[in-house]
Amino acid sequence: MPAPSDHNASNSLLPHYLQEDFGTQGFRELISSLPKEKGWLTPNIYNYKGFWFGAFHLQGALRFQQHFQAQDSDILLITLPKSGTIWLKALIFAVITRKHFLVSQETHPLLTNNPHELIPFVDVSYARETTPDFPLSNGVRVLSTHFPYPFLPESVREKNCKLIYLCRSPKDTVVSYWHFANKMRGEKSENNKEMKEISLEEAVENYCRGVSLGGPFWDHTLGYWNQSSENPRKVLFVKYEEIKEEPEAHLRRLAAFLGCPFSKEEEKGGVVGEILRLCSFDNLSGLEVNRSGKGVFGNNNSVMFRKGEVGDWRNHLTDEMASRIDQIVEEKFNGSGLKP
């Protein structure tokens, strides 16, 4: 990513994703022309074509659209922030590489690497450079993004690549995102005094107004839900809560969708259960790399893990907050056939 402008050299002390004075003159002019609000993870968040982005992520989105050339073998994992992204990445990596990396081996990459390192965000990659190189996992590119469907490059729509969208209850998502944002803001507050904690009331208010990365959450989710209905061979829509309830059935579903179903021998050998144990919250969160390692934004990997539970929102949201989110879900998803 281009270096910050000389007239604001203090920005060089900030992580890339917190900076806003970068890029071409045209990009800076675009940013200055957009509606903005206070960000969750960034100083500001900008509305571009109906969706909200930090400046860093918007640069990534524009470059992704302009430069990315999809391949038929590509796999894209799509989520809203704090919807189970790490878990999905771990599961998919373990599934597609299981012939090369035996799940039981002590040197499995998931034991020494955070899933974000093994399956990169195109958001971050393109924000940092114009033409990033992406690693291969068992001969295919597996990438992830928080971008809404309208922001995917035309080549993604034209090619036969596979898209997997993971949806999570908005009430659990907003609570998890609130916790995560405050942990991240706490780590960066020394270099940016404006990064004070967000109150739960403010977080819920913004989420309900659609003001969050990739939001509004209802438009983001419905965009992929509709695509999964129109083209189920290309787009698979899965729910976090359903995977938690029936993990083996849904892991088989994921493998079959990707064209690498489990063989009878693998079923008899307990490979499905081994993958689920390897990728479990307790196992991943307890690994040294995830307790003390550094993440893609320079943060501690430990901030990526909290509880991973279904229904934890009950310990945080008031009845009024929960009712408001329920009403929005009922209104926005009415007639779609989706009940998140």
Q: Which residues are within 8 A (CB) of 310 and not within 5 positions of it... i.e. 6 or more apart? A: 169, 172, 240, 241, 244
In the residue annotation, 146 being an active-site residue is answered as yes
Segments making up each domain of the chain, as ranges: 36-332
- Listed ranges 11-15, 68-72, 108-112; the one with the highest mean pLDDT: 68-72
What would the CATH number be for the domain defined by 36-332?
3.40.50.300
Q: What is the mean pLDDT of residues 228-256?
A: 96
pLDDT digits (tens, 9 = 90+) for 211-227: 999 999 999 999 999 99
Segment 280-334, tens digit of pLDDT: 888 887 877 777 766 666 666 656 666 767 789 999 999 999 999 999 999 999 9
Residue 162 is predicted with a pLDDT of 97
Catalytic annotation, pick one of 116, 146, 220, 250: 146
**Confidence class of residue 99 from pLDDT cuts 50, 70 and 90?**
confident
Confidence tier at 19 by pLDDT (50, 70, 90): low
pLDDT at residue 159, rounded to an integer: 94
